[in-house]
Amino acid sequence: MNDERLERQIKTALERDARPLPSGLRARVSAVPDEVPLLTAIRSACPPSVGSRTSPAMGRADARRAPLPGATRATATHMKR
């Protein structure tokens, strides 16, 4: 099979997966700027989830350094090595 034919076959196969734009998506995307304040409010209102190593004030680097709940001093020392 030559390259041209193979590429045509691939295009045809992929075309079968294409879907028309769903009717509600335009409105959903239009509403995106209004969602952000809502999401921010929800996030700030929720406490960190159970078992989470992070708190809202904790950055990623802090989270990496923070011991897991239940870790002993020995574990923390071991983790530092």
Partner 1 sequence: MVGIGRLEGVIGVEPVVSGGTEAERRAAFERFSQERLERVYRLASVILRDGGEAEDAVHDAALHAWLHWADLRDRERMDPWFDRIVVNACRARLRRRTIRPLSQGPADPPGPDPVGGVLDADVLNGALAALDPDHRIAVVLRYTADLSPAEIAARTGTREGTVKSRLHYARRRMRSVLDEAERASAGGSR
Q: Find out whether 56 and 44 touch, Cβ atoms under 8 Å.
A: yes
Report the residue number, 13 or 74, with the smaller CB distance to partner 1: 13
Q: By C-alpha distance, which of 50, 56, 41, 43 is closest to 69?
A: 50
Minimum Å distance from CB 33 to partner 1?
Answer: 5
Q: Find out whether 58 and 66 touch, Cβ atoms under 8 Å.
A: yes
* Span of 23-31, 41-49, 62-70, 71-79 interacting with partner 1 by CB under 8 A: 23-31
Phi, psi of 20 (to 5 degrees): -70, 155
Interacting residues with partner 1 between 2 and 21 (CB under 8 A): 3, 5-19, 21
Q: Provide the binding-site residues for partner 1, judged by CB under 8 A.
A: 1, 3, 5-19, 21-22, 24-26, 28-30, 32-33, 35-36
